[in-house]
Amino acid sequence: MNGKGSQKSARLERLKSEIVEYISINPGCSAADIVDHLSNTRRMRNHGLTSRKVGFFIPRYLKNNVMFTLDRSTGKRIYSVA
């Protein structure tokens, strides 16, 4: 997200709060669960995140709020609130 527009920063803050809220309600969720919640449950169609992009988004913007562990059998990241 380039630029410093107020709408862009508001959208980023809403996306961060939605992700933290979902992870706090559902600890042990994967990136696919987060994307499914944003797209289908919250109807945020234009959030622009895929399961792969969540793996880059969370360490960049939410590194102090969300932590992850690797699942031994599948190798996926399992997210929980720090």
Q: What is the pLDDT along the chain (82 residues), one digit of tens a residue?
A: 566 678 888 888 989 999 999 999 999 999 999 998 888 888 877 677 888 888 899 999 999 999 999 989 988 999 999 8
Q: Is residue 21 part of a domain?
A: no
Q: Is residue 17 part of a domain?
A: no
- The parent domain of residue 63 ranges over 28-81
In this prediction, residue 25 carries a pLDDT of 95
**Angle 54-60-62 (CA atoms, 0-180°, nearest 5)?**
80
In this prediction, residue 2 carries a pLDDT of 61
In this prediction, residue 51 carries a pLDDT of 86
Alpha-helical runs (H) found in 26-50: 31-36
pTM: 0.83
Q: Is residue 61 part of a domain?
A: yes
Q: Is residue 53 part of a domain?
A: yes
Q: Is residue 1 part of a domain?
A: no
Tally the domains of the chain.
1
Cα distances (Å, whole numbers) of residue 72 to 59, 69, 75, 78 = 20, 9, 6, 10
